[in-house]
Amino acid sequence: MDSTKVTRQVKMTTWANFIRQQQASGLNVTIWCEQNNISKTQFYYWKRKLKNEYLEQQLPDIVPVLLPDPIQPSVPAPVHHSECCTTCTTDVINTNFTMKISVQDITLEITQNTPDVLISKVIKAVRNA
């Protein structure tokens, strides 16, 4: 360790002890600093510096996140399923999913917000129709 790092470490340790002594004394910072001939400004400077040093050691490094390129606007394209009379459309931009089930003159539209309980009841009703 070079002399600058040693000096810094000694100062950090000294001020950490001062802060512990102030907290243990039960006195407020102003009175404790007056009694110990320490500048209140210096006290708060070192308290903030120690806190930041501690947080730096405790918190993980911030890792940049690469975001995917935004999806280009597109018109939802209906998809027809040949095995039944169902049409599904997807809005890619908002990731909204809508499924329309059409049987003769009845159309059922299900979105991602449709409660599962309601979907189950409709399926049971259709089975029993």
Where is average pLDDT lowest: 54-63, 84-93, 94-103? 84-93
Q: Tell me: the pLDDT tens digits for 46-71?
A: 999 988 888 777 666 555 556 666 65
Q: Stretch 57-86: mean pLDDT, rounded?
A: 57
Q: What is the CA radius of gyration of the chain?
A: 33
Would you say the pTM of this structure is higher than 0.85? Answer: no
Q: How high is the pLDDT of residue 19?
A: 93
Locate the domains of the chain by residue range: 3-58, 79-127
Q: Nearest Cα to 95, choosing from 117, 74, 116, 79?
A: 74
